[in-house]
Structure 1
């Protein structure tokens, strides 16, 4: 109650400029700009602490405001607007269009649904956006030339105004509000509309449009109830469909709802998935409805008839080990019992009848004829040429998808019935116009990982079916390719490193779904909550010091210091360069990596400013940032474009904005999979499919890093749920085949095809080991096998003791180079540096070597940023010079920079 009273008081002091809608944690502006919403599971035990944190954050937020596109040039805003429009134009998915009802002929509509007055632009947490000048839903309709019932609009606006609490526009607060506040009505009850108002609406138009809004957030997952119609919504649909001849459904959501009801009403003619469109995407919706834009988006998830049809939902949520402490102090787990059968891989193999809208599906206002003009397959490559011709009456774009089906032997390596192998998108084709797409992939990409026998990728002998398709379900043409003899691929295709199992300990006692015994292996809810010994013994530090020579430190050279720019020119100077660092300097560099990294002027090492997020890059200042880039559509929408070139353009645009707001390291893109529709951060991730996710991540990475900023592919790895991920690290049990074929692939493609120079490790554990402390993950796989040459940073750091879960000592041993100290920065820095110094005293050889590796990785990362401008593109050939564009005190710590910035801001406000 204290927090609610405080919020109400602050609402009055802010003159009602912003409001907080208690409906499922929704946040928005009371002006015409749409805002964010966070749909959260309430955790009442945390409210007291969060209330205090929230109150403090709101006070800070009034001192340090953030505004959309603040700090970027007008030219960049104009360019970003065009890119964002194209992203949403191509990302909108037309799910239903009976009898070609869309585009609208009668451009007058009645709009129902509270989301029409509260358009959701993004989700909550690090992926949130601030857009004070966004295009709202009705402005989007107007842009498309569609008129709407203004009297009905006023009814919803009045309802919203009388059911709201304040909001400050700060992403952190938006993330916490849902925990502190109780639930409220999600929709205006339809009975609040009088018979006269409904009759007036019918007279205005025979067409109604219903908008559903729902968005996830960091820190919380959704429930099944969140994604199903509640009684108020069902009553609204009943009333609207019985009063109007034509009804259109618009989903302004981050997660795929249960949509079976769309087919249960004869008057529902059309349904559209617009996702979370960013600050200008509402214009795209208006243009799609009116026909100015022809939708070309395709689903990147399978939409089942019922949420219970997803096998992952049986092992998703809150499962606690017996005998552990309550709440965040407990130990929790999740079992990936579905194995490799995720999304369409499950449905197409075991339950095709359970799918309402299949993976890769999406309608258009025109028709396309396909002709396969070429097919070639050999031991190296599979190539397909497809001529696409627009045979309809409207200009449009089309997506060609290529899948394969591998030969399966009962009892052999698990294989799904079908897998995506390649895809391509045409340009805008006018009626009668054609374009030939050439799609190819490596033959070895059809191999499966054999964790039981060969510990390698295996391309089994037999016949492979190559399928040219409009979706995973709509196959246009099938070809065959025969592998005469089984091929075992023992070495990585990029580095040549020998491959072997790295995660044998991550599937302890796990029963994994198998085609050989569906009934006996089908996923079930956990029944055994006893804690394995590996869980009880996790987070133990090495106790035996490494023998050998203690690495040099604090060395000075007669001819002057070896600078970082010298190492860029001559990599053989690495060890002599590192010998110059003192132990304290190395420890400080590792410990001070929250929203920026420390510099050291005497060795020519510049600091960097680092920040979120996937849909809008923030400027320096961590959670107290005052500058922010353009608010683009979310990754979920971008992926539905199936347009790699557009994804790269988006990345390049964000990179330009990062340079303008002063950010050198971008905490994005998100590379986790949408394992369940309930995932709180599904809006931050591309797809249920690892290949599509990886191609998109690689494209965004190439674009962003072309502007001399560094991305951090996140969250490495298996961070597919928010529930309990920070409660001692969610113990994630998953088999190695599934790890390699699904959850690691987006990161692998981001590294190998995108050449990413940064990775963010995840909060959760794989098996019993925190991801940020897993040497098999961060060294053996990421660096040695894949050839990654960059920097690894933790997720936002919440360790207050310097030991246990998120132990910085274990992070350094695993070559997790930086600790992203965040909310309780000063306490964390003290505890982290104390822990690291203590471990160095115990193990100066082993820990000293580990510190040197981390510091070197940090320094190499900086070479790829604007902090040190490179004339050539690669290390060590780069001729690097310190930037003269900005006056930088390289010895200033991240703490000093944050304090100086805040102090200056407060003095300006005092004046």
Structure 2
């Protein structure tokens, strides 16, 4: 039994339902069966030459490749799930043979089971060919958190050994050659498209029962109905993002703008030379006829009724994808975009079903971030003909006759305030193939610094108002009032940082630089300009430490003052690298005539002596006694009084995470004994409950999205939630809905798709399913977390249009449709700003525009400043907060008690909703999906 912390008896009554029950962490019975069926519903049959599949009882089958015995169920990192077993394809095919669906030769796969480095030769392959006429080659690739995939051999490309084995299988002339791709995402398929390879099944990372699901599809026990959620290009270099995904360590320029995935290829590759398998592609063992839809309008929603008929000889399901080709207007659009989708029930041969697909007009609008339409900062629906194409893939749809809707005049759908104007992206792709220039300036949230004439003032180096795009900011520790950061990566001549000053009294000023230097002594490290005029000063820096030892880079010292002349008014102070630079922490400016006295006074003041007039608020209980958390369950109107009685320290402590109280928890929220707030435990991950105990491993989200079936996603969300309740968890750190901008992102398997509509609707379904079984979700990672390499430092440089129309869109759909209680900000920077420190993103868009009222968590162990996070609107810093920094910022007037109360109010409201969920009984799992024959090893 896993026990929670004990609390006041009044609070304990609230938990009596769960606390009086003995619940052992375990796999919920029935979940592996659902996992198997879900994997089968999601896998995509990419190729089936001459109806090679399904296999028949007369087929003599052999499986080749290490993946046949080490079939990968899921990725690593937060996506890893501890399971009791992970079925492999060797076992699964043997089970199919026992059922009489095929004949099976295990000798081939067994060779890899006995030796993971086994390398077959022609003699071995020919020996197996005498026993089998069908070869199944398994190609496996894993992926995970903190590391991206590679474009080279062994990941995107086949290894030398795999190429040799493929050629041996082709030369052996098996009657059927089938490839199963057990991969975390798209891989090169150019060597698999010739006639020698008869069929390709994309199995992705399908969970603990995925090998059995793949075998069900190969033998036709289940008819495949899954579709690709990404475009599979001919070569990695064909993806527009390949130009900068690996090129730089510190930033990515999203120059392709809104032309992501199939939006790019449908617009600029009309001859289909650069794509092997398109977005939405997936074959079936039967055939369907998708008839022309009937269009009607209900208020501001277009309604399409699409008849689908099974015209083949097997029962099966089909996905109808409705694409829209919008008028180019003044903004320019992709050639096609997914507007709606739906999936039929299992249709018998000859059976017909009419699907109803709804498209809100607002969904067709585009964001104008530069004023081309005449309405800058607005989402606009431009006038013209909108052509809708129904089909079963992005390629197939364009072959159908379109249904037209005419918008007579431009309509403003939404007026936004200027939030995240493009600031670091020099140009972007437009619909005609040209590049549009964008203004480039690196801005910060800091105000212009006013230089006083009677005291010294310190300027933090990272608070520049402009900088060279490659300039970096590094966190180097926690000292004083907050996390400390410095300017770095200026080791190239010409890189610069620029500060905007306001000078009331012109004259000569002394300036002291605080620096560190892990190299030998350096001479004349920078050129200093004031309003473009070079100042006659020289800065030499001694060595302050041993660079190869990381901590030694941050032995900061204060250099002797140098002087410069500052004119009256606005002053641009520019520091330019002369080649080899240092880490710059801050600099202090004072009038030169009194600089010795003023610098000494500054140093005394910043020795952390409390400022007069600041009083740390103590607890103040109301006359009738303390209001405890349990009281808010019955009297939520007392929330303000509840928070008001807390001391500043209580509030600061509440805004940081804590160690988990349940077995395997990622961390907890709440946990305030004084006011009897219990801990609420969070858990990873996207593919199942990540605990110290064995749990169900589900198909990864990128595969599950291939089902194009929100009802199935709700089923998985609910089943996963029931198991989480069984394991004493409260808050699921999922779904992840970042866009698959590039196929090599290491966490793409945790995310859903390259398309924002599919990602948003499937993510919302997962959230609804979890909530239906009383688990709160945390939508992540907000936003543009599309690369794992240097994920704490990488800067996603995106135009506001691409951000709103592509990368924020899934989050917006989930916030508005599923109303999640939690959302997680991301590690990366967004156009030069850390997401957790960006008020335009967290407060302006998320709260003010989308009306999100839940709690915003920082990602675990990010390198953002807790003070800046709180000012921006981030609610809780995970996995630990920095209460001392918050209190120190209050002492200096940077934060107010109101900031802390606001954040705490959001948190407590969310936790009260989680508490309601916690008190409900764990319901038994319903028989939602039929069990396939001979379901796997259900322990």
Instruction: Please say whether Structure 1 and Structure 2 have the same fold, judged by a TM-score greater than 0.5.
Output: yes
Counterpart-to-counterpart distance in 2, 1:538 and 1:770? 19
Q: Is the CA contact (8 Å cut-off) linking 1:71 and 1:627 kept in structure 2?
A: no
Within-5 A mapping of 1:471-870: 471-475=393-397, 476-491=400-415, 499-504=416-421, 506-518=422-434, 529=470, 533=497, 554-564=619-629, 566-567=631-632, 572-593=637-658, 595-619=667-691, 626-726=692-792, 729-798=793-862, 805-821=863-879, 832-843=882-893, 846-866=895-915, 869=918
- Cα pair distance change 1:710/1:389, threshold 3 Å: same
SS at match of 2:110: helix
- Cα pair distance change 1:724/1:782, threshold 3 Å: same
- Superposed CA deviations along residues 380-415 of structure 1, whole A, max 9, x for unmatched, are 111111121211111100011111111103xx2131
Picking from 71, 74, 84, the partner of 1:119 is 71
Name the TM-score, length of structure 2 as normaliser: 0.73
Counterpart-to-counterpart distance in 1, 2:858 and 2:317? 40
Residue 183 (structure 1) aligns with: none
SS at match of 1:560: coil
- Superposed CA deviations along residues 828-847 of structure 1, whole A, max 9, x for unmatched, are 66xx2332222122127x33
SS at match of 1:247: strand
Counterpart-to-counterpart distance in 1, 2:809 and 2:380? 16
Q: Is the CA contact (8 Å cut-off) linking 1:107 and 1:290 kept in structure 2?
A: no
Displacement of 1:810 in angstroms is 1.2
Displacement of 1:217 in angstroms is 1.1
Q: Is the CA contact (8 Å cut-off) linking 1:222 and 1:678 kept in structure 2?
A: yes
Residue 42 (structure 1) aligns with: none
Q: Is the CA contact (8 Å cut-off) linking 2:38 and 2:712 kept in structure 1?
A: yes
Within-5 A mapping of 1:169-318: 188-190=118-120, 193=121, 195=123, 197-225=124-152, 226-243=155-172, 244-264=174-194, 266-318=195-247
Displacement of 1:154 in angstroms is 2.5
- Cα pair distance change 1:371/1:269, threshold 3 Å: same
Q: Is the CA contact (8 Å cut-off) linking 1:317 and 1:721 kept in structure 2?
A: no
- Cα pair distance change 1:520/1:758, threshold 3 Å: closer
Counterpart-to-counterpart distance in 1, 2:611 and 2:220? 69
- Superposed CA deviations along residues 541-576 of structure 1, whole A, max 9, x for unmatched, are 9x9x99999997622112233344554555543322
Name the TM-score, length of structure 1 as normaliser: 0.75
Q: Is the CA contact (8 Å cut-off) linking 1:553 and 1:579 kept in structure 2?
A: no
Structure whose residues are more often strand by fraction: 2
Displacement of 1:108 in angstroms is 2.0
Counterpart-to-counterpart distance in 1, 2:657 and 2:817? 30
Displacement of 1:267 in angstroms is 2.1
- Cα pair distance change 1:855/1:563, threshold 3 Å: same
Picking from 433, 441, 458, the partner of 2:359 is 441
Matched, 1:100 2:51: yes
SS at match of 2:115: helix
Q: Structure 2: give runs of 5+ residues left out of the alignment.
A: 1-22, 439-467, 472-494, 500-574, 576-582, 588-605, 660-666, 924-939
Q: Is the CA contact (8 Å cut-off) linking 2:69 and 2:110 kept in structure 1?
A: no
For the aligned residue pairs, the C-alpha RMSD in angstroms reads 2.9
- Superposed CA deviations along residues 69-104 of structure 1, whole A, max 9, x for unmatched, are x94567x321x1232122111111000001101001
SS at match of 2:806: helix
Displacement of 1:119 in angstroms is 0.7
- Superposed CA deviations along residues 304-353 of structure 1, whole A, max 9, x for unmatched, are 11111000111202514xxxxxxxxxxx1111111000000000011132
Q: Is the CA contact (8 Å cut-off) linking 2:72 and 2:142 kept in structure 1?
A: yes
Q: Is the CA contact (8 Å cut-off) linking 1:406 and 1:415 kept in structure 2?
A: yes
Residue 291 (structure 2) aligns with: 371
Counterpart-to-counterpart distance in 2, 1:692 and 1:342? 14
Displacement of 1:518 in angstroms is 2.9
Residue 252 (structure 2) aligns with: 334
Displacement of 1:812 in angstroms is 1.6
Counterpart-to-counterpart distance in 2, 1:753 and 1:232? 48
- Cα pair distance change 1:421/1:548, threshold 3 Å: farther
SS at match of 1:490: strand
Displacement of 1:509 in angstroms is 4.1
Q: Is the CA contact (8 Å cut-off) linking 1:277 and 1:632 kept in structure 2?
A: yes
Counterpart-to-counterpart distance in 2, 1:467 and 1:301? 19
- Superposed CA deviations along residues 229-285 of structure 1, whole A, max 9, x for unmatched, are 222211111111110232100000011001111113x22110000011111121111
Residue 391 (structure 2) aligns with: 469
Residue 529 (structure 2) aligns with: none
Residue 380 (structure 2) aligns with: 458
Displacement of 1:474 in angstroms is 0.9
Counterpart-to-counterpart distance in 1, 2:427 and 2:225? 40
Structure whose residues are more often helix by fraction: 1
SS at match of 2:402: strand
SS at match of 1:865: helix
- Superposed CA deviations along residues 582-624 of structure 1, whole A, max 9, x for unmatched, are 12211222223461113234534221111100011134xxxxx
Q: Is the CA contact (8 Å cut-off) linking 1:374 and 1:384 kept in structure 2?
A: yes
Counterpart-to-counterpart distance in 2, 1:612 and 1:474? 38
